[in-house]
Chains A and B, each alone.
Chain A
Amino acid sequence: MASYKAPLRDMRFVLFELMDGEDIATLPGYEEATRDLIDSILEEAARFCEEVLLPLNRSGDEEGCVFENGVVRTPKGFPEAYKAFCEAGWPGITASPEFGGQGLPKVVNGLIEEMICSSNLSFGLYPGLSHGAYVALESHGSKELKDKYLPKLVDGIWSGTMCLTEPQCGTDLGLCRTKAVPAEDGSYRITGTKIFISAGEHDLTDNIIHLVLARLPDAPKGIKGISLFLVPKFLVHDDNDLGARNSVSCGSIEHKMGIKASATCVMNFDEAVGWLVGEPHKGMRAMFTMMNTERLAVGLQGLGIAEVSYQGAVAYARERLQGRSLTGAKYPEKPADPIIVHPDIRRMLLTQRAYAEGCRALGAWVARHLDLHHHPDATMRQQAEEFVSLMTPVVKALLTDLGSEAANLGVQVFGGHGYIREHGMEQYVRDARIAQIYEGTNGVQALDLVGRKMPADMGRLLRRFFHPVSNYIEEKASQAALTEFVDPLGKAFTRLQQATIKVAQAGLRNPDEAGAAATEYLRLFGLTALAYLWARMAEVSLPKAERDDVQGFYAAKVATARFFMQRLLPQTGALFSSIMAGSKSTMAFDEAAF
């Protein structure tokens, strides 16, 4: 059976030892978020995830969602768990108190999202989508729309969706065909078909609020002619009572590789009543507000899977007795040694661990900058925003790619027992896979990094990452105890700098050069970011490992940092070579020969 204990010790380390978590409460609006409060919240979230969400993960996967006569039934236990989730107030963690939320820091929310994803990724998508809808509506909706819909989204009584994709229109939203026609009363009539709509139809809430991309009759062609509309499943009277069923319906649900307990729906809009959110033809702006939040959240899905797969693999590697250690029996009293003695098993476990802990630090580092949105100093706010903007594609793609890798390693540690379903390890592989695809494929994230973020303002965004890292390397270069961490970081960083110059220059001459290097470049960027954080984590842990390290937490941290630097970071050398080789071998290949 799958087991999972939220890594609270490590979360506290990241928040309060690696970062200045205690200072969060000095930000205006976050006065309540003191350390003791954050501790209590994390504890209780962990309990809920471990006791309520985790037990429904495998049954939800086995059962899946059922579609009958236009109605979707979620797996057994999901409606009750969702109700308990809402009663405990978890949908409103970061939402504004104005609409019934708790207004808590995003960095705390990020840690809770990780726990939810570790426990039950499918379940997490329902409140996750509502949160995305909340963010888009809160930033761009009119006061009337906000007052009417946000409180119910915040308390989870209603849920939300994001309806972007159409059969002919996935990554390229400019191809969107869904129509919106103004009605006399100021509302609109929406007609079209949307596909791949997570939580489009289900039995968890009384009403579902769809945010739909569509084209007005006078819309310019392409991406600049898209507007955003709010379309409720049931129309809502002014007194908040539910009225007539709107003409939006679920046509079918998809049969998927993973996240089977999450309903992925085809939604048909047939002159459905909707309201404009934001300005006409400015739908993409609203959509990007939502998407940036969602992209970070999707990154955390990869992290959540990496962590839970690691925990499962460690437990199995301690128990499973096979063969003897290459250097002689370590447990002579047992019929064989547990497989954790074998170098290759240790390689896999440490890789999972180094990825999970490194990605947790990276996710929190970026989320901490989201919270600086509350900072009184405008320069600080802007710099933090630039940092988040730069790091969003890195977090999304790196965390989901590594999450997938970690999930695969988890299966490998189990051998044949990982491939069969009973232990739940293969489910992590299937569930993690989608995170590399949705909210912009990881290829699109890489293009966003090299095509948009890298050249923006003559590289100003890049400096938000490059400056702190180069300052750190310079500052610590003389500290002998840190050499084993700072030196490899320095090497990776030099490669990243050189690769950046190469991609930027070659990309100017020929955009295919940047396109061909993008994925490797993003990975090089991400690994360098992890190296920076691992060096800092080692720096924090080294003195503490010397004294009062009863649980061995700090010693393990330093040892994991060492493994990362020596065994994982060298990948940057290979990535660097690939990038420097240029696009020719990729692009010269004759299309007909494929």
Chain B
Amino acid sequence: MKVLVPIKRVIDYNVKIRVKADHSGVETANVKYSANPFDEIAVEEAVRLMEAGIVSEIVVVSIGPAAAQDVLRNALALGADRAVLVQTDNEIQPLAVAKLLKLLCLQESPRLVILGKQAIDDDSNQTGQALAALLNWPQGTFASKLVIEDGRIEVTREIDGGLEILSLALPAVVTTDLRLNEPRYLSLPNIMKAKKKPLEIRPAASLDINVEPRLITVRVEEPQQRQAGIKVADVTTLLNKLKHEAKVI
């Protein structure tokens, strides 16, 4: 069984994000990038399924600039077999990503797509759902456990107040939550081997899909600075303030 794992290259979670002076976006020059952590979990899950003998091939895909080859190489070092970079320097929004991925799914015919539930840069949480809808495949989002048996996949989902277990027919789309697994450390020999694994670069323009942004970013602001607290004289004043100023009780 073939698995397709899309990976987004995002600003590393350790970087302190700064808003650009003109408020058009966030500062990206000389900032460290890495794979979206939820997507790393997706790659790890695919590799575990391969080690369990269920998956026979893992194809990783990224859509973005030439530099996104780095995150693909890391996925190859983790255990993926080959990689495709759909190269573009333009902003690609979730629906466009889903359309590009749909095309790749039709070409590659995976039985399963595993991807992060959201990317930590824009937190859209749309791509997996949109892809499933475009392909007309079942979807299991926010997965914390996967079991594949008899052509079906059982997805344990983290939902408010508990877990929900779905059984989906394959092919299907699954999005990962934080607790699905903990990605392993890359080994030095595998980092070296990843250099030799195939990485195909396809210009986004060559795929003949309209990826024009449909949303316009008007303005990006820093979150408001937290104000210092105050001391109140007694409990009555506190209750009064909570009721009438903060309006929380």
Contact = CB atoms under 8 A, between A and B. Distances in A.
Given A36-B73, A40-B77, A88 B30 contact: no
A588 interface: no
B228 interface: yes
B188 A37 contact: no
Contacts of A23: none
A87 B187 contact: yes
A89 B189 CA distance: 6
Contacts of A48: 185
B152 interface: no
Interface in A33-91: 34, 36-37, 39-41, 44, 47-48, 52, 84, 87-90
The size bracket of the interface on A is: 20 to 34
Q: How many interface residues does chain B have, given as a range?
A: 20 to 34
A32 B192 contact: yes
A262 to B, nearest CB: 23
Interface string B160-197: 00000000000000000000000001111111101100
A590 interface: no
A333 B77 CA distance: 50
Nearest to B188: A89
Given A88-B188, A89-B188, A32 B195 contact: yes
A44 B195 contact: no
B215 interface: no
A315 to B, nearest CB: 14
B216 interface: no
Contact of B188 (A84, A90, A553): A90
A592 interface: no
Nearest to A85: B185
A542 B189 CA distance: 38
A52 B30 CA distance: 28
Give the one of B73, B74, B192, B195 with max A CB within 10 A: B192
B29 to A, nearest CB: 5
Contacts, number: 54
Given A40-B73, A40-B74, A548 B185 contact: no
A93 B14 CA distance: 27
B221 interface: no
Contacts of A102: 188-189, 192
Interface in A533-562: 548, 550-551, 553
A92 interface: yes
A44 B73 contact: no
B91 interface: no
A550 B77 CA distance: 31
Contacts of A92: 188-189
Contact of A47 (B70, B77, B185, B194): B185
B20 to A, nearest CB: 10
A89 B192 CA distance: 11
Interface of A: 5, 32, 34, 36-37, 39-41, 44, 47-48, 52, 84, 87-90, 92-93, 102, 333, 548, 550-551, 553
Interface of B: 14, 27, 29-31, 69-70, 73-74, 77, 185-192, 194-195, 228
Given A36-B69, A87-B187, 7 more contacts: A36-B70, A40-B74, A88-B185, A89-B188, A89-B190, A102-B189, A550-B29
29 contacts: A32-B195, A34-B195, A37-B192, A37-B195, A39-B70, A40-B70, A40-B74, A40-B194, A41-B188, A41-B191, A44-B77, A44-B185, A44-B188, A47-B185, A48-B185, A84-B185, A88-B186, A89-B187, A89-B188, A89-B190, A90-B188, A92-B188, A93-B188, A102-B188, A550-B27, A550-B30, A550-B31, A551-B30, A553-B30
